[in-house]
Homo-oligomer: A and B are copies of this chain.
Amino acid sequence: MTEYPCSRYHIHYSRQPTERILLISASNVLDTPFELGVYSFVENTPDPETGRSLTPTERMSNLLETMELADQVGLDVFALGEHHRPEFLSSAPAVILAAAAARTQRIRLSSAVTVLSSDDPVRVFQDFATLDLISQGRAEVMAGRGSFIESFPLFGYDLKDYNELFSENLGLLLALNEAEKITWSGKHRAPLNNLGVYPRPHQEKLPVWVAVGGTPESVVRAASLGLPMALAIIGGMPEQFAPFVQYYRETAGEAGHDPDQLPISVNSHGFIADDSKQAADDYWPGYQHIMGKIGRERGWRGTSRAQYDASIGLRGADFIGNPDEIIEKILFQHNFFSHQRLLLQLGVGTIAHSKVLRAIELLGTQVAPVVREEIRRRNVIREIAG
């Protein structure tokens, strides 16, 4: 494999070689297999079919089972979000990911996202470096500003500093990644005067992704820093995000980074069943429950079943269907994104555990092999043409 000069914040997988996880840093993103994964906020709302709610302990146990299965069926990533609301159990993603690390072998363990604006980058670094040691190099941080705002009053931050806090905290997190002892000062946190932060991770650096929701400013930030970008597409027509991706790659290039070394992830809602209509019917009640409840708080218009059905179509945002439909949609989007990763939130609201397990099995065993092979073929052609 060709040795490439590494970008400053490259994705460093070198100590965890597996068949699937290759050296992004040693080559470029075209040489790496397409990655498929799952993310969750660990929702715990009543099961729409039974009306029954699980205890938080049962829900956590089920979650860990899904993470273990995702590893077993060869998925590449399991990521956990951060919410501070009673409907969700994941306010401390690194703690749950550590439990999953102890029960899995190869799957990468990420946040999606760490709400970095309202957290202390030193604690975040320590948590994920610890996770990285436990998982022997499978940790990553996906940093975002967060689309929910509960964490701001809870941790004493002002929403007017939303953007500035994110910039400053991301800068500190990256600085902690660069050197064991650092001297740093900022506006929103106590300065560090030649202090060390421990433990150091297993990987040379923690992979840090930036999650963006489509704000051009966020895209510029990720690109300028040479950080991989996760694009949350949970509504509208995904093809309309293509200019953002193009903009990201151009801006990265202008900032002196090699766009071919910067992977892009699409993060979307999704659900997979053997039967197409079953998938749609399984996903809808929990989705409607959560979107209605949170939507009311936020003054959203409700989502109708007709809108939902439209979002399931090839050009809609949601990956809901049978394996063939999911494969088609991934490949359709790959035409205009040329992305490297897809993460699906399998359930905005509660879906029966057995169905979630089946969705993971289908994603790993029926969707992933076909998608990886087809995208590998496309990339070979692109490199030959290139």
Contacts and interface: CB of A to CB of B under 8 A. Distances in A.
A92 B89 CA distance: 20
Contacts of A122: 154-155
Contacts of A85: 196, 198
A99 B198 contact: no
A180 B86 CA distance: 9
Interface stretch (A125-133, A233-241, A286-294, A347-355): A125-133
22 contacts: A55-B202, A64-B134, A86-B198, A89-B130, A89-B199, A91-B126, A92-B123, A92-B127, A92-B130, A95-B127, A98-B99, A99-B101, A99-B102, A100-B102, A102-B102, A120-B155, A123-B123, A123-B155, A153-B193, A155-B190, A156-B191, A157-B190
Contacts of A199: 56, 89-91
A96 interface: yes
A126 B92 contact: yes
Interface string A65-102: 00000000000000000011110111110111011111
Given A59-B133, A96-B98, A157-B190, 9 more contacts: A56-B200, A57-B202, A60-B133, A85-B198, A88-B198, A94-B95, A96-B130, A98-B98, A156-B190
Interface residues of A, number: 55
A12 to B, nearest CB: 14
Contacts of A56: 133, 199-200, 202
A103 interface: yes
A189 interface: yes
The 4 A-B residue pairs with the shortest CB-CB distance in the complex, in nearest-first order? A156-B190, A102-B102, A98-B98, A60-B133
A197 to B, nearest CB: 7
A232 B165 CA distance: 40
A92 B94 contact: yes
A14 interface: no
A282 to B, nearest CB: 25
A195 B199 CA distance: 33
A192 interface: yes
Contact of A99 (B99, B189, B195): B99
Contacts of A103: 102-103
A93 to B, nearest CB: 9
Interface in A123-151: 123, 126-127, 130-131, 133-134, 136-137, 150
A154 B60 contact: no
Q: Which of A90, A133, A150 has the most CB of B within 10 A?
A: A133
Contact of A153 (B94, B99, B130, B195): B195
